[in-house]
Chains A and B, each alone.
Chain A
């Protein structure tokens, strides 16, 4: 069985500070990993995905994530938070054609 654990249901950072959202996974087969963002009252939007081509993945809006197999992690980072980054972030995984398995989400607040 596959699973995703997001550490911290709520993260608060100051504008301009580093954003770090943590995601650990469990999978018996090589996974594909994803980060999605959900802005208030909107559907989910893909930020980035890892598909084994490169361990450091760059996404939209300045976000990136690093796949670390030894740590079974896929943490999301952004060097400098902006007010517009305030949203809920979901880590997800699958393997090939299976449905996505989502973590419980992390709500990011950005303080001016």
Chain B
């Protein structure tokens, strides 16, 4: 059974803090993704990675960075947290493309920035 785990379910941080959100998958998937989910806006892609040390900007990368030093781990970094980054963050990993594509999601991290 594929597992995508996220380091925290709930997180409370102060404005200006550096925040690390960790995501680990156990199925040797090449592709990993970070989304944020906000009511009425659906899921928006922040960053993604198709291989170790590779990263690509998604639709809303401002204020975020990522790190992928190992295949199974994809970290999202908020360099200086702001209140408008209060959101639900979802990590996903993917195997295959097209007919064989299956994307698996973690349970999410709900981040509150005060």
A residues at B contact (CB < 8 Å)? 6, 9, 32, 36, 41-46, 49, 51, 53, 90, 92, 94, 96-97, 99-105
Docked-complex contact A90 and B43, CB < 8 angstroms:
yes
CB-defined contacts of B48 to chain A, threshold 8 Å: 99
CB-defined contacts of A42 to chain B, threshold 8 Å: 107-108
Determine the distance from Cα of A98 to Cα of B58 in the docked complex, in whole angstroms: 11
Determine the distance from Cα of A45 to Cα of B99 in the docked complex, in whole angstroms: 17
Taking chain B's interface residues, is the majority helix, strand, or loop, or is none over half, making it mixed? strand
Known: A51-B98, A53-B99, A99-B48. A43 touches B107 (CB 8 A): yes
Q: Which residue of A lies closest to B99 (CB)?
A: A51
Determine the distance from Cα of A46 to Cα of B93 in the docked complex, in whole angstroms: 13
Whether a CB of chain A sits under 8 angstroms from the CB of B97 is yes
Task: Give, as a whole number of angstroms, the nearest-CB distance from A22 to chain B.
Answer: 15
Whether a CB of chain A sits under 8 angstroms from the CB of B105 is yes
9 examples of A-B residue contacts, CB within 8 angstroms: A32-B98, A42-B107, A43-B105, A43-B106, A43-B107, A44-B92, A44-B105, A46-B102, A49-B101
Task: Give, as a whole number of angstroms, the nearest-CB distance from A49 to chain B.
Answer: 7
